[in-house]
Structure 1
């Protein structure tokens, strides 16, 4: 999501713009926008669409990471992995601990006690320790172990001279992840962890960014846009078919077969228009994407508690939660960035 060793001069404006758009779609998904109204045949289809339209975002983050780390990873795979992974693992550990300690239901914690509210959540994580190891203290933190796993696989392949094994291995992991994930009811395959977590999807996406950089792959804007639209249509089509024939809930899909095509298409589309978003303020704003990703879900939990206490519902609830999460997260990030905590919590 963010390259710790990337100088400001190496940034591509369109990719920074893409990261900002992607994090906004993730915010809408995590705030569960329109998931309790605007129903068609008893189901909130507007909310389902908003939920799934965000699914290009994390693939784009992975691809960007692979693209920008490619040269360093090629030159010094293990040293680059160590330098890149160390701050990410530290951030993951710290925010996992914060997430474990923070109550999610303020009313229950106040009325029945802190431990009464927290113990069921801790028990849930302890009941699946391997999955929790690849996820963290709160569900969205899976991105960090996933990124580290992908980089470790690429670094190992490069270190041992197995460059040609990267793509077949990454494809195998991705296909298995889809079959044991969204298509589990079709394939009957089981996985030791929830396949969104760990290396199953992240490896192919990070490898895609790496290979695009190493092989200087480019597309003109029109074919790249077409690729992105085909990937998006495929993603929605797969989700619709799985719901129709296997009753898999429409918003449950993080990755299906077409998702990688969608992500690569969006990336190549942005690369074909590198000057999109060329403004110093946008570049500065994009530097908050990783801190925002890490922090925003905890802030959203606070806003959900406030909305419940105010007995809000419908559009007014969504507006308060989304805007409140956005504004409060940005304020907290800017405040932390002015202190020594910035290096500990975000870098």
Structure 2
């Protein structure tokens, strides 16, 4: 079975997962360097922004054959297990206290009520996100796939890229570029189909048309896209006072993620090993649980007074190991049918 899997793509997924963990762990964000801004932490945050787009591209690549042949049945079979997992983890994140000191001193309802009220203040956005911020990935994936599946079902695959680009442009104009264009969206445009559809479409079209790029060209595309993404964030910060680390998707992001995808596609057997495939099958589970481990690790560090650069690095290592162990434990229980896809 492993012979049919693409080793380089599995490495890409693992590196993307590590990038997501670093984004959420926020290392070096208390180390101001220039203009009282923690530029090391800010750059690390933005350097990981290829991760979720790459997940989307790979999802589009792998689902293309079945989605092309049986669009709506495939969408249903693919989406229902993901929605089950999304709902289960949303309930967990809604129920688990985040601030352990407040929970201890003021009680469960006092700790939780503020977070619940925050989510209820924008219920439509919460619907597209779930019980915790990182869970937006699952509704975003399903929404993007639904757009492409509808085009396939209507025999209008030629519309996939135009529709995806239009959604992406709107998502940027009402998202990171909202200070420039002044467009107000009913939801945070990172959520839903606005930005995910284009990424999924890139993977879908790459497989459908067997698009390939030589490794060097793909690397230049990735570097150029990354550079554009970083410069866009700097422009928004300087010109419009937008925080540098809030930009999930910018104009350069699809180029950056696509470049990485084509680099990986050009070296399909890179790092092939049984251990790789054994580890990579737990990526979704680790993604789902990791933010809870980050929250409790940072709580513990604050209680113990453990801070500084060593703490910043330690939290990443702890989260990787503990999240993996928890997923393996879940996998040995009946809960795997609810909490893991």
**TM-score, with structure 1 as normaliser:** 0.97
User: Is it true that 1:194 corresponds to 2:183 in the alignment?
Assistant: no
233, 237, 247: which is aligned to 2:241? 247
The reply to whether residue 294 of structure 1 matches residue 288 of structure 2 is yes
Match of 1:75 in 2: 69
2:251 is aligned with 1:257 = yes
Alignment of 1:81-230 (within 5 A): 81-230=75-224
Tell me if structure 1 keeps the 8 A contact 2:2–2:274.
no
Counterpart CA distance in 2 for 1:336 and 1:129 is: 30
Superposition misfits of 4+ residues, deviation over 6 angstroms: none
Q: Which residue of 1 aligns with 2:11?
A: 17
CA shift at 1:52, angstroms? 0.3
Question: What residue number does 1:322 align with?
Answer: 316
Does the Cα contact within 8 Å between 1:99 and 1:138 map onto a contact in 2? yes
Distance in 2, matches of 1:284 and 1:22, equals 17
What is the distance in 2 between the residues matched to 1:155 and 1:9? 29
Using the alignment, how far apart are the partners of 2:249 and 2:138 within structure 1? 17
Which shifted more, 9-18 or 138-147?
9-18
Is the 1:232–1:259 contact (alpha carbons within 8 Å) kept by the matching residues of 2?
A: yes
Residue 219 of structure 2: SS of its match in structure 1?
A: helix
- Does 276-285 or 206-215 show the bigger shift? 276-285
Find out whether 1:49 has 2:43 as its counterpart: yes
Provide the C-alpha distance between the structure 2 equivalents of 1:303 and 1:319, rounded to a whole number of angstroms.
12
Q: 1:327, 1:154 → 2: CA distance?
A: 36
Residue in 1 aligned with 2:326? 332
Tell me the equivalent position of 1:308: 302
